[in-house]
Amino acid sequence: MMTNRRTSLWLASIVTVAIASLAMTMRVGAGTRASSPPSLEEALSRALEWSPDVLLAKSEVQRAEAQLKAARLRVSRDVAEMYAERDANVHELDSLRRKLERVDAMMKQGLESETARFDLFAELRAVESRIATIDASIRYLTGGDDLASPEREPSDPDPRLVVRPTFAQRHDEILSMKVDLDFQDVELMEVCKYFDMLMGDKQTLVVDQDVLDIYGTHELNIRVTNLTLEQAITILCDSIGDLAFVGRGYGFRVTTVSQAKRILAPSIPELPYEAR
């Protein structure tokens, strides 16, 4: 009996140790499985979504997008305002040019003074200057490209907005001198020779062949006293109707009105510039 009891106790001890060992093995196995990393695909997905560097980069992108939207809104508003101001000035410029034409017509009839024309011309120049400033701002905002319209190539400037340069000082000195004219049935060719003589060695008067072929033998009757040479040239151009004096580096070029409009230079009479 004693032997059987000892054997039973021994077997119970062995069973107890085995159960305890099995339980410990199960706990270790469970702990090992819990600490295993996720799969590669899952890890990449989580890292790309929740990594601190990715989160910081996302916030910077969102901030940049917000700044870009604000900049686009601001630039769009500026360009719209500039074009509105430009259109208003172009409208005013067209109105002043029509007024100037009426004043010139009244001056021919002796109903308007030269002072009125001078004041109106100065106002017109101021509007042209404002338009040129607006154009420069638009070119800056649009990357420097010339203003384009469906009717002309993108590289052509808007003829309504191009400001003709003023006469150089060497031209002004000649144009401001006082002259007397007394032409009775004198051909245009001879009148041009007389003007060339008045200018002396300082300036050269070049007459286009087209002008000589068409108007060279046209007889003129002009009698004026104590006028500036510029005023005398204006009267001569008005008498022909299709004549213009264009300021050049060598002096003056006498050409037709249509040709003078295509030359970006000061002219008598004042003409709008038309791109080629």
Sequence-distant (≥ 6) Cβ neighbours of residue 9 within 8 angstroms? none
Calpha distance 91→95 (Å, rounded): 6
pLDDT tens readout for residues 199-232: 877 678 889 988 988 888 888 898 888 989 999 9
More confident residue, 170 or 238: 238
At a CB cut-off of 8 Å and minimum separation 6, what does 128 contact?
93, 163
Confidence at residue 245, expressed as pLDDT on a 0 to 100 scale: 94
Least Cα distance to 161 among 39, 8, 273 occurs for: 273
**Dihedral, 253, 259, 265, 268 alpha carbons, nearest 10:** 70
CATH architecture of 169-268: 3-Layer(bab) Sandwich (3.55)
d(CA 147, CA 142): 9
Domain ranges (residues) in the chain: 54-141, 169-268
User: What tens digit of pLDDT does each residue of 23-75 get?
Assistant: 555 555 545 455 677 888 888 888 788 888 888 888 888 888 888 888 888 88
pLDDT at 154 over 50: no
- Predicted pLDDT at 158: 52
Instruction: Calculate the average pLDDT of the chain.
Output: 79
Six token digits for residue 180: 């007397």
Confidence bin at 148 (pLDDT 50/70/90): very low
Contacts of residue 131, defined as CB under 8 A and 6 or more positions apart, other chains included, come to 86, 89, 90, 93, 161, 163
